[in-house]
Amino acid sequence: MSTNKEHVDRALIRRCLDGEPRAQKELYERYSGKMYALCLRYCDNRDTAKDMLQEGFVRVFRSLANFRHEGSFEGWMKRIMVNQCIEQYRKEQSDPWFSDVQEAHHIGVDDHAFSRLGMQDLMRAVQSLPRGYRTVFNLYAIEGYTHKEIGIQLGISENTSKTQLLKARNMLKRIIAAMEGSSHG
């Protein structure tokens, strides 16, 4: 919303396109924290998230000329990062070590627990979801994709996306409960 932010972005992009290395670094520093947090949400370890961030930024700089200033620059960048993470998801799909859990039971959760949990706890909870749940939850709950879009992006049916989301939510509740439990031990 803030036009000032747009002005800064616009100026920075122009300088980048003019080939000014310092502008590229400024742009990186302006957004790398947010983009890294995004990558962390989609990955279960820092090394993969770091790779996503790196490859994502390379893409950002290489396709900077294609940015049409039609939406917010941050949103455009986020989409590139999300796509990077979705590609990684597809790559990891064939990995037998990460089989998704088939079942998830309802469990009572102390609602007050949530308010005590900070960004890091919630991030860790999302990271500890099985890959499929994590990806769907991120895309739906945080990025705001529809089930239809998720289905197309991940190559799954709309219904699978819905089921995965439900299971993700249930599991998050369990995880948060377990986190509370293990912190005493």
Partner 1 sequence: MDNQFDELFRNQLEHAEVPAPEGVWEAVSAQVATKAAAGTAGTALSGAVIKGAAALLIATASYLAYRAYTTEPQIEVQAQPQTNQTQVSKALPSPKVENALTTVPETAVQRPGKATGEAIAHTETIVCNGVDIADYETVPAKTEEPSGKQSTGQETQTGHTEQPCAWTRAFKARISAESARSVVHVHCLDSFAAGTLLTWFCNGTEIGKGQSIRYTVLNHRSVRMNLKIQLPTGCATDQEFGPMEIEGCDVDQNLLVPNVFTPNADGINDPYRVLICGAEQFQLSIFDRNGTRLFTSTDPDSGWDGRINGKTAPEGMYIAKLRYRFYGHQEQEKTTMLWLKGTLQH
By the criterion CB under 8 A, which residues form the site for partner 1?
Answer: 19, 21, 24-25, 28-29, 32-37, 40-41, 44-48, 50-51, 53-54, 57-58, 61-62, 97-99, 101, 114, 118-119, 122-124, 126, 128, 130, 137, 140-142, 169, 171-175, 177-178, 181-185
SS3 96: coil
- From the CB of 11, what's the least distance to partner 1, in Å? 19
User: Quick check: 49 and 40 in contact, CB under 8 A?
Assistant: yes
User: 69 CB contacts (<8 Å, ≥6 apart)?
Assistant: 10
Nearer Cβ to partner 1, position 53 or 154?
53
Give the C-alpha separation, 12 to 149, whole Å.
31
Nearer Cβ to partner 1, position 154 or 172?
172
Secondary structure letter of residue 101 according to DSSP: P
User: Quick check: 88 and 158 in contact, CB under 8 A?
Assistant: no
Nearer Cβ to partner 1, position 62 or 68?
62
- From the CB of 47, what's the least distance to partner 1, in Å? 6
At 107, give phi and psi (nearest 5°).
Answer: -145, 145
- From the CB of 151, what's the least distance to partner 1, in Å? 18
